[in-house]
């Protein structure tokens, strides 16, 4: 059974080049209930776990603050995400947790089978566990990204890879790691964004290097 439930030839051809919305069934798997997420947080290397909080103004990306989980259990971290204003970033779960390694193989194999000519490498199956009121500031990712909603709701704004959203020089510096992936944001740019409301069972992917933000 496919992970993504609404592949079409048109979506397969446009994958990686356009903004696309998909439906999936991952949210129905027990590994993503409270017990499963707490277990993941206990198994994941604590020194690799990113813990962040932030301000409320979407322009104030410098309010992004890094914290530490200390000796909190997976249950306690999950409680903190449910009651606070934090963002837990678990990069490369497929390198550390066998269940997620199998899931990563399943997802990437399906993408390669569906998308003509696609070959994936440096596979990073990240998990983001966030408070309902947490946000991710305006930024771009160099790798191609797909964002799968498993619990709760988030809104994603995706912007064109063009001026004024990101200039060629800014993009070059980010790709070369000469500057941060986060940079100045003008709320007026929302008028040119594609907006996606993500609920469990929704996935969105966008053109590589497209700036985006999440609330």
List, in order of start, the domains of the chain with CATH numbers: 9-214 (2.60.120.650)
Round to whole Å and give the CA distance between 51 and 174: 23
- Model pTM score: 0.93
Q: What is the pLDDT of residue 77?
A: 98
Round to whole Å and give the CA distance between 13 and 132: 34
* 212 within 8 A of 206, measured Cβ to Cβ: yes
Round to whole Å and give the CA distance between 106 and 29: 14
Q: Is the pLDDT of residue 87 over 90?
A: yes
Residue 48 pLDDT grade (very low, low, confident, very high; cuts 50, 70, 90): very high
Mean pLDDT of 86-113: 97
Summarised one tens digit per residue, pLDDT across range 160-205 is 999 999 988 888 888 887 776 677 899 999 999 999 999 999 999 9
Round to whole Å and give the CA distance between 146 and 163: 23
Instruction: Tell me what percent of the residues of the chain surpass a pLDDT of 70.
Output: 99
Average model confidence (pLDDT) for the chain? 95
81 Rama sector, left if φ>0, alpha if ψ -120 to 50, beta otherwise: alpha
Look up residue 3 and give its two tokens. Answer: 């992970």
Q: Is the pLDDT of residue 25 over 80?
A: yes
């Amino acid at each position: 059974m496919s992970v993504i439930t609404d592949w079409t030839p048109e979506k397969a051809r446009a994958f990686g080049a356009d903004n696309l919305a998909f439906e999936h069934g991952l949210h129905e798997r027990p590994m993503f209930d409270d017990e499963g997420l707490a277990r993941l947080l206990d198994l994941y290397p604590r020194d690799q776990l990113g813990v962040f909080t932030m301000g409320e103004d979407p322009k104030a990306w410098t309010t992004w603050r890094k914290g530490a989980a200390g000796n909190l259990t997976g249950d306690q971290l999950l409680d903190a995400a449910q009651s606070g204003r934090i963002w837990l970033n678990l990069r490369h779960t497929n390198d550390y947790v066998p269940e997620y390694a199998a899931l990563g193989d399943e997802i990437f194999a399906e993408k390669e089978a569906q998308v003509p000519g696609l070959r994936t490498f440096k596979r990073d199956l990240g998990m983001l566990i966030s408070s309902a009121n947490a946000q991710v500031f305006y930024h771009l990712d160099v790798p191609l990204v797909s964002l799968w909603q498993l619990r709760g709701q988030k809104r994603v704004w995706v912007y064109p890879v063009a001026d004024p959203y990101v200039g060629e020089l800014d993009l070059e510096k980010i790709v070369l790691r000469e500057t941060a992936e986060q940079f100045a944001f003008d709320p007026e740019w929302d008028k040119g964004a594609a907006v996606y409301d993500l609920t469990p069972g929704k996935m969105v992917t966008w053109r590589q290097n497209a700036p985006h933000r999440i609330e």
